[in-house]
Amino acid sequence: NAGVTQTPKFQVLKTGQSMTLQCAQDMNHNSMYWYRQDPGMGLRLIYYSASEGTTDKGEVPNGYNVSRLNKREFSLRLESAAPSQTSVYFCASHLAGVYNEQFFGPGTRLTVL
Amino acid sequence: GEDVEQSLFLSVREGDSSVINCTYTDSSSTYLYWYKQEPGAGLQLLTYIFSNMDMKQDQRLTVLLNKKDKHLSLRIADTQTGDSAIYFCAERGNQGGKLIFGQGTELSVKP
């Protein structure tokens, strides 16, 4: 099993450009998440999808959109990138269970100039 | 709202014990977690504790939970240079499977 995979690993954008971050999991998990990680701020939830066909806003959704394409894939789109969106983005998934472990992808390092 | 707080940095000598502390606000949390992030990588679950437990031990790791003070700690015995990483405390919020993370504590282990 590959676990949670993310593409690309690195990306540099100019202000105003758009892009989509891809995430896929092969663990048959129901729920998937997008976080951003900024120094001194921990991980903040952008959007999540509790199950296929549903998405909900997290703590910092402004400037982002998501698509839960199927059970495996959950993408994050920046329609018009801003320097404030420079961050490391992590996708995670979990199967609802007893202790609720979330499995994380390796991250996408995004710089917006 | 829910909030999780950690100190940002901790430096120890190899072979010493490390203690990383965390405070949280949601008294209804059912599970609390410690995740480890090595440089350039994603987060991996290190250990977790159920809210009806006071202590959990797993090899070199000891987790202590004080529900009255809403305080969680992670003790790493005989700290090694390979333990250098960022450690995140997280609580399971009251809405489904969402986790609330602290800021992360960067542990530096000096030889």
Nearby residues of A89 by Cβ (< 8 Å), 6 or more positions away: A6, A21, A34, A35, A36, A37, A46, A76, A107, A108, A110
pLDDT interval class at B54 (50, 70, 90):
very high
More confident residue, A2 or B59: B59
Ranking A39-43, A57-61, B25-29 by mean pLDDT, the lowest is B25-29
Task: Identify the contact set of chain B against chain A, taking CB-CB distances under 8 A.
Answer: 4, 6, 8, 31, 33, 40-45, 48, 50, 88, 92, 96-99, 101-104
Distance from CA of B47 to the nearest CA of A (A): 10
Report d(CA A104, CA A32) in Å as an integer. 10
pLDDT interval class at B96 (50, 70, 90):
low
Find the length of chain B.
Answer: 111
pLDDT interval class at B19 (50, 70, 90):
very high
- Cβ separation of A104 and B43 shorter than 8 Å? yes
Q: Best interface-test mutation with B: which of A91, A102, A109 has the largest number of B CBs within 10 A?
A: A102
Percent of chain B predicted with pLDDT > 70? 95
- What's the burial of A15, exposed, middle or buried (CB within 10 Å: 0-12/13-18/19+)? exposed
User: Is 90 exceeded by the pLDDT of residue B65?
Assistant: yes
Res B87: pLDDT: 97
What is the mean predicted confidence (pLDDT) over A101-111? 94
Report d(CA B34, CA B40) in Å as an integer. 18
